[in-house]
Amino acid sequence: MEKFLFSKVETWIVLLLAILAVVGSILFAALALDKAREKHRTGAIGTAALTIAEMPQTLIDWTKQKDARLAGRTQEFEGKAGWWLSPGLKTAPIDGYLLLSRAKIEADQNVVELLDLSDFTVKHTWMPNADEFLAGVRRDFQITKTDRWNRALFEPVHPLMFENGDLIVKDHQSPIARIDACGRTIWTNADRNYHHSLELAPDGTMWVPSVIDPPNEEYGPKFFEDGLVNMTVDGKVLSEVSLARVMEANGMMAMAFTSGGYLSDAIHLNDIQPVPGDGPYWQAGDVFLSARHLSMVMLYRPTTQKIVWWKIGPWLAQHDVNILDDHRIAIFDNNAYDRGKGWYIDGVNEVMVYDFATDTITTPYHETMKAENVLSVTEGLVDFTDNGHVIVEEENRGRILILDPQGQKVAEFVNRGPDGQVYGLSWSRWIPRSLGDAGLKSIVAAACPG
């Protein structure tokens, strides 16, 4: 062995091996780059080369991985856990219930709680079991991420509650399911995958964004194509249209596809908000759309497939359109942008109110948002109770604020687990008193085991 290791090697062999190594390195890099740039000319060989090239980063990511249920900033809000209530809260009671969707590490899953806002007690808890209602569904998608399709990680994003105690649940990019008061599966719609908001329309149907997967060929194989889905509460899809197609038909193609550079998630639909009925600025059946990556809010008329109004900014990467009355909407403004160094919030999140009658924008809760340092780079929402309270979910940081009609903080919730870390929220929803009471009555009658 020693003789072999220390034997002389001809110089020409060393040079030949060096040349082959250089040529091999160049060829390997070309194969990996072809796959990374999605040229699709090298097939499985390119895929293998890219996988090998990414191994160091994969190892780094693996060593840094954390519980996916953690909030973005897990050590925020020192000393705060659970609910804090203002001493003056009893003089301004909060009406209704909060359908609180959150990660509960003690249960090792995300749960949905019906919280009575009159005394801040949890009246009922649903524990959606994704292992059950997603059993056997298709998972071989081109665009859709399926890593959270299990009981421990599934997030019931923006759950919808009914008078009989049923919930409709889905994650960001998942099938949609209806479960009863005891958490048992009633139906699952796995024909397509859904994401972000879930809203009930005045006609009793639902609007929810979908993932068109695979996307239309002309948009590219990795394009995240948002769909606008109208469906029944029994899970039957009534209609689905591509938002990119709608924008293209309305002369807005340049906003999603430019010559400056291709973006695979150029639009990023995150809310479909049905209007309550006819008004001076919209018609029954219309829906407001929020496109985060365009910082755009649109008013879409499904009966004609026309975008009848749209506005870009001053909100930035906004979420969650709310209709306040017949001429005003409120928007949760993330106030976030990316100038090449990652997402950055310009100050704090805002709740912006746009008045169609005067074409003006106000930020009535700015002082409180600033004082509370509300900073959700992505997601987040705002809700309004019938008696004027404002509920702000700071999704990224695992916190909820409740403001009185004058904008002063009267309650705060921090989703801190028993391990001391803050865990995420999943688009909670205010529930009117009548709906919550009816739901609780049905839940008691159901006599769920345990």
- DSSP characters over 178-220: EE-TTS-EEEEEEEEEE-S--EE-TTS-EEEEEEESSPPGGG-
For 261-286, the pLDDT digits (tens) are 888 999 999 999 999 999 999 999 99
Rounded distance, CA 53 to CA 406, Å? 56
pLDDT of 63 above 60: no
pLDDT of 309 above 80: yes
> Who has greater pLDDT, 272 or 387?
272
- Lowest mean pLDDT segment, chosen from 54-58, 76-80, 160-164, 238-242: 54-58
By residue count, the chain amounts to 450
pLDDT band at 64 (very low <50, low <70, confident <90, very high): very low
pLDDT of 418 above 60: yes
**Cis status, amide bond into 314, omega within 30 of 0:** yes
Locate the DSSP E strands across 162-315: 167-170, 174-179, 185-194, 199-200, 206-212, 225-231, 237-242, 269-274, 287-291, 296-301, 306-312
pLDDT at 46: 66
> Who has greater pLDDT, 362 or 387?
362
Rounded distance, CA 163 to CA 306, Å? 34
CATH 2.120.10 domain range(s) in the chain? 80-128+195-423
State the residue for tokens 């509370």.
372
- Lowest mean pLDDT segment, chosen from 155-164, 231-240, 253-262, 321-330: 253-262
Average pLDDT value for residue range 364-379: 95
pLDDT at 22: 79
Rounded distance, CA 354 to CA 311, Å? 10
pLDDT at 284: 97
pLDDT at 61: 47
- Rounded percentage of the chain residues whose pLDDT exceeds 70: 90
Rounded distance, CA 114 to CA 162, Å? 12
As a whole number of Å, the end-to-end CA separation of the chain is 70
The dotted CATH code for 80-128+195-423 is 2.120.10
Does residue 391 sit in helix, strand or coil?
strand
For 180-217, the pLDDT digits (tens) are 999 999 999 999 999 999 999 999 999 999 999 999 99
> Who has greater pLDDT, 52 or 416?
416
Rounded distance, CA 243 to CA 189, Å? 21
> Who has greater pLDDT, 19 or 368?
368
The mean predicted confidence, pLDDT, of the chain is 90
State the residue for tokens 């993932």.
211
Q: What is the pTM of this model?
A: 0.86
pLDDT of 54 above 90: no
Sign of the CA dihedral 424, 70, 139, 222? Answer: positive
